[in-house]
Amino acid sequence: MKYDLEHIDSLTIGVVKDLEINACLNDLRPELQAILDRELKAGNRVRDASRGWPDPGSVFVTLADPFHSKYEAEGSVQYNEPNDPHYWKADYTCGEPAHVLAH
């Protein structure tokens, strides 16, 4: 799926930030893009995205709502449930440097 500004939650502030988020979505590892695509089709939206954490070269994407489904963690994809109320509840992570899709 090609990502564009319609996939970004309306709470995101500013067109420049939206464009940065969109660039992150398009650079996300394909294994996580497959999960992201299914979430977007199920009605979820992207809340935020950034680069450089948890590792230099990482891409970190946060969804607006919890995952609609639990996806099979295949290959290098790992599912984690930190359940931290200050950060995020669950994520799918893969690769080196780590790319993360969280909610």
SS3 (DSSP) at 90: coil
Share of the chain above pLDDT 90, in %: 71
Closest among 31, 20, 100, 27 to 63, alpha carbons compared? 100
Q: What is the pLDDT of residue 62?
A: 96
Q: Please measure the distance between the N-terminal and C-terminal CA atoms of the chain and give it in whole angstroms.
A: 20
- For the entire predicted model, the pTM comes to 0.89
Cα–Cα–Cα angle for 96, 97, 99, nearest 5°?
A: 100
pLDDT-based confidence at 64, cuts 50/70/90? very high
